[in-house]
């Protein structure tokens, strides 16, 4: 347990990461405590001082002082803090009077752990699949294409002329999904195909790797794999000469392609990356999609950290939610200052080891949802939606969580020429 | 590791209530999952899904895609959800004694 760690290796790893900003951030913190109340872990755990964000990054200063001479047990203590007590949601960073990006420092610690071979099994396992298959669930190209064909068959009798284009050169949109959609939730693909069809969109899926836009390597700070995963998508976009890349209702996929990929790749790809929330909002605003009726039951909307605080879509998300609802009830702190659900930063794919921690920290989100009285929670992120569904059960909330695409596909007006004729 | 007692048998389960070892699966486990998943009755169709999942898992070491499940059983997606309301990755895999699928699920 307390096997020594190569101190030189630790320092060699940290050195190139210790630029001016990093040094300032590590040294400037006065432990004023302004970040304490911003953290859902701190609030949900009876204001346990160990959960104060600035305390969680104490290790960095300490390691530098010790010149990297730490042992395995010490790294395991870091692991518990940076994985079990933080969703890297970045809410604390917004409140720091010095502008210290605490979440970034957590990522540096995760990267250090990864360099020493310490990463959550649930995340590390997906890295192997990303490398071999280009997606996080070991789906082969053949299985991917067969699933798309099947999705088309299953929906063909609902909409006349529905197609799922593959490798359509020059299409406007390259659509990318989360591997869980073809693997376990093909209805997500079917709903999106219907929306594209009704909107008259010019879109395509790629036939080869690049279609899975998720990037779980990012959460364990495995930049090398993260770069490879993101570059798959941009390669397909280049080859197919599309105008833009649209990402499914996934939070971290959008952030990784839109904001992190340029840093990993060393250049800014020419195809803009668009989240489904933005696309749906445009469709509704432009009248390309019209709703037969709005949701009648009271609704609220989750602000996934990676598309809102870290993605700039706060206003669009809120507007879209209000456009599909008759009785939209924003959460307290709706928008950039909303709380994390407790499922972010890799918490969901970490699996069992994280479960009790995320259910506990999710108490804040559960209370927020309950307070609105909403019966439907709109959730444009896969990890958020799974977590919120678990919270609904755990905290006995009378509500259900849905993606926007499900609501839109169900409530949109189907033009006459697309309506199947009754026999 | 948490345990589940059912019909006089003890099962080790993970945090999500999936059985810890595929080899410890038996009929009692199926009836246990039927209760926790709110399934009214285990029908021949449930058993067909369970058998397909288990055969695939024995051969490949992972759960099949829902497409393969649908193709081999001949059940449409909607019908699989009628059988297992929490879906193929959750309810069906759990009843079949497969480990919880990995990744964003």
Q: At A3, is the pLDDT very low, low, confident or very high (cuts 50, 70, 90)?
A: confident
For residue A135, name the pLDDT band (cuts at 50, 70, 90): very high
B104 given a catalytic annotation: yes
Q: Would an 8 Å CB–CB cutoff place A356 in contact with chain B?
A: yes
Q: Chain A within 8 Å of B17 (Cβ-Cβ)? A: no
Q: Chain A contacts of B87, Cβ < 8 Å?
A: 184-185
Domains of chain A in sequence order: 7-118 (1.10.1060), 122-281 (3.40.50), 291-411 (3.40.50)
Q: Is B104 on the interface with A (CB under 8 A)?
A: yes
Q: What is the mean pLDDT of residues A56-69?
A: 95
Whether the pLDDT of residue B72 is over 90: the answer is yes
SS (H, E, C) A43-82: HHCCCCHHHCHHHHCHHHHHHHHCCCCCEHHHHHHHHHHH
The reply to whether residue B89 touches residue A184, judged by beta carbons under 8 angstroms, is yes
B67 touches chain A (CB under 8 A): yes
Residue A1 pLDDT > 60, yes or no? no
Would you call B101 and A184 a contact, using CB atoms and an 8 Å cutoff? yes
Question: Best mutation site among B12, B69, B104 for testing chain A: the one with the most A CBs within 10 Å?
Answer: B104
Q: How far apart are CA A234 and CA A265, in angstroms?
A: 10
Judge whether B1 is closer than 8 Å to chain A, CB to CB. no
Partner residue facing A138 (CB), from B62, B76, B77: B62
Spell out which residues of chain A touch residue B76, defining contact as CB-CB under 8 Å.
Answer: 154
Q: Does A154 sit within 8 Å of B102, measured CB to CB? A: no
How many percent of chain A have pLDDT more than 70? 100
Question: CA torsion A106→A109→A114→A119, rounded to 10°?
Answer: -50
Residue B102: list chain A partners with CB under 8 A.
Answer: 122, 125-126, 137, 349, 351
Distance of CA B51 to the CA centre of its chain: 9
Tell if the CB–CB gap between A186 and B77 is shorter than 8 Å.
Answer: yes
Nearest CA-CA distance, residue A7 and chain B, Å: 33
Residue written as token pair 């602000």: A303
* Chain A residues touching B49 at Cβ < 8 A: none
Q: Does A351 touch chain B (CB under 8 A)?
A: yes
For residue A421, the model assigns a pLDDT of 85
Instruction: Tell me what the mean pLDDT of segment A13-21 comes to.
Output: 91
From chain B, the residues in CB contact with A139 under 8 A are 65
- Is B88 within 8 Å of chain A by CB? yes
Q: Is the pLDDT of residue A218 over 70?
A: yes
Given a cut of 70, whether residue A353 has pLDDT beyond it is: yes
Which three-class secondary structure string do you get for chain A?
CCCECCHHHHHHHHHHHCCHHHHHHHHHCCCCCCCHHHCHHHHHCCCCHHHCHHHHCHHHHHHHHCCCCCEHHHHHHHHHHHHHCCCCCCHHHHHCCCCCCHHHHHHHHHHHHHHCCCCCHHHHHHHHHHHHHCCCCCCCHHHHHHHHHHHHHHHHCCCCCCCCCECCCCCCEEEEECCHHHHCCHHHHHHHHHHHHHHCCCEEECCCCCCECCCHHHHHCCHHHHHHHHHHHHHHHHHCCCCEEEECCCHHHHHHHHHHHHHHHCCCCCCCEEEHHHHHHHHHHHCCCCECCCECCCEEECCCCCCCCCCCCHHHHHHHHHHCECCECCCCCCCCCCCCCCCCCCCCCCCHHHHHHHHHHCHHHHHHHHHHCCCEEECCCHHHHHHHHHHHHHCCCCCEEECHHHHHHHHECCCHHHCCCCC
pLDDT on residue A4? 82
pLDDT in tens, A263-319: 999 999 999 999 999 999 999 999 999 999 999 999 999 999 999 999 999 999 999
Contact B67 A216 (CB under 8 A): no
Question: What pLDDT is stored for residue A2 in this prediction?
Answer: 72
Residue A422, pLDDT > 80, answer no
Q: What is the structure's pLDDT at A323?
A: 98
Q: Tell me the pLDDT tens digit for each residue of A227-254.
A: 999 999 999 999 999 999 999 999 999 9
Q: What is the pLDDT of residue B4?
A: 93
**pLDDT greater than 90 at residue A53:** yes
Q: Do B105 and A386 touch (CB under 8 A)?
A: yes
Residue B104: which of A136, A143, A150 has the nearest Cβ?
A: A136
Residue A196: both structure tokens together? 């594209």
Compute the distance between CA of residue A307 and CA of residue A258 in angstroms, rounded to an integer: 10
User: Does B14 reach chain A within 8 Å, measured CB to CB?
Assistant: yes
Is residue A93's pLDDT more than 90? yes
Q: Chain A residue with minimal CA distance to B78?
A: A187
pLDDT at site B31? 96
pTM for the full model?
A: 0.96
A327 CA: distance to closest CA in chain B (Å): 28
Q: Is A120 in CB contact (< 8 Å) with chain B?
A: no
Say if residue B96's pLDDT is above 80.
yes
In A216-235, the residues whose Cβ lies within 8 Å of chain B are: 216
How far out from the chain centre does Cα B32 lie? Answer: 11
| pLDDT at A380 exceeding the cut of 80 | yes
Q: Which residues of B touch A180 (CB under 8 A)?
A: 89, 103-105
> Per-residue pLDDT for B101 more than 70?
yes
For A125, which of B14, B67, B102 is closest by C-beta distance?
Answer: B102
Of A137, A147, A150, the CB nearest to B103: A137
Instruction: Give the whole-angstrom CA distance, residue B42 versus residue B40.
Output: 7
Among the listed ranges A4-8, A192-196, A279-283, A355-359, which one has the minimum average pLDDT value?
A4-8
The overall average pLDDT reported for chain A is 96
* The pLDDT of residue A423: 64
Prediction ipTM score: 0.93
């Amino acid at each position: 347990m307390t096997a020594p760690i190569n101190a030189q290796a630790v320092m060699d790893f940290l050195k190139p990461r210790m630029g001016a900003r990093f040094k300032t951030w590590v040294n400037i913190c006065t432990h004023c405590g302004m970040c304490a109340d911003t953290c859902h872990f701190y609030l949900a755990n009876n204001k346990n001082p160990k959960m104060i964000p600035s305390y969680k990054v104490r290790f960095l200063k300490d390691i530098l002082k010790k010149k990297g001479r730490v042992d395995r047990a010490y790294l395991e203590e870091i692991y518990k803090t940076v994985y079990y007590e933080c969703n890297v949601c970045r809410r604390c960073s917004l409140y720091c009077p010095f502008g210290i990006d605490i979440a970034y420092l957590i990522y540096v610690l995760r990267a250090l752990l990864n360099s020493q071979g310490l990463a959550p099994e649930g995340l590390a396992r997906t890295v192997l699949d990303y490398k071999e298959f280009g997606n996080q669930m070991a789906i082969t190209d053949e299985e991917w294409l067969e699933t798309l064909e099947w999705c088309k068959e299953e929906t063909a009798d609902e909409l006349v002329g529905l197609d799922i284009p593959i490798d359509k050169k020059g299409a406007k949109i390259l659509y990318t999904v989360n591997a869980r959609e073809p693997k376990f939730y093909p209805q997500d693909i079917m709903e999106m195909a219907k929306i594209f069809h009704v909107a008259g969109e010019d879109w395509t899926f790629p036939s080869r790797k690049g279609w899975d836009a998720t990037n779980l390597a990012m959460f364990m700070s495995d930049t090398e794999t993260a770069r490879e995963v993101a570059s798959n998508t941009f390669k397909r976009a280049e080859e197919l000469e599309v105008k833009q890349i649209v990402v499914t209702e996934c939070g971290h996929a959008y952030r990784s392609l839109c904001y992190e990929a340029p840093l990993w790749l060393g250049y800014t790809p020419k195809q803009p990356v668009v989240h489904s929330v933005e696309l749906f909002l445009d469709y509704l605003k432009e009248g390309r999609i019209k709703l037969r009726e709005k949701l009648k039951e009271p609704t609220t909307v989750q602000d996934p950290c990676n598309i809102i605080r870290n993605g700039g879509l706060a206003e669009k998300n809120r507007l879209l939610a209000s456009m599909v609802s008759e009785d939209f009830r924003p959460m307290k702190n709706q928008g950039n200052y909303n709380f994390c659900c407790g499922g972010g930063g890799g918490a969901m794919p970490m699996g069992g080891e994280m479960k009790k921690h995320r259910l506990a920290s999710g108490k804040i989100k559960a209370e927020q949802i309950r307070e609105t009285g909403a019966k439907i929670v709109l959730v444009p992120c896969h990890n958020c939606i799974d977590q919120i569904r678990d919270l609904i059960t755990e905290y006995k909330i009378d509500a259900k969580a849905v993606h926007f695409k499900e609501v839109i596909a169900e409530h949109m007006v189907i033009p006459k020429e697309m309506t199947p004729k009754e026999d | 590791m948490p345990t589940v007692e059912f019909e006089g048998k003890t099962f080790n389960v993970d945090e999500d209530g999936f059985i810890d070892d595929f080899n410890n699966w038996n009929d009692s486990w199926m009836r246990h999952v039927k209760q926790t998943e709110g399934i009214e009755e285990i029908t021949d169709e449930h058993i067909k899904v369970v058998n397909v999942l288990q055969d695939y898992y024995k051969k490949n070491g992972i759960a099949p895609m829902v497409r393969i499940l649908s193709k081999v059983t001949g059940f449409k997606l909607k019908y699989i959800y009628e059988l297992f309301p929490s879906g193929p990755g959750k309810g069906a895999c759990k009843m079949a004694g497969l480990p919880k699928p990995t990744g964003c699920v």
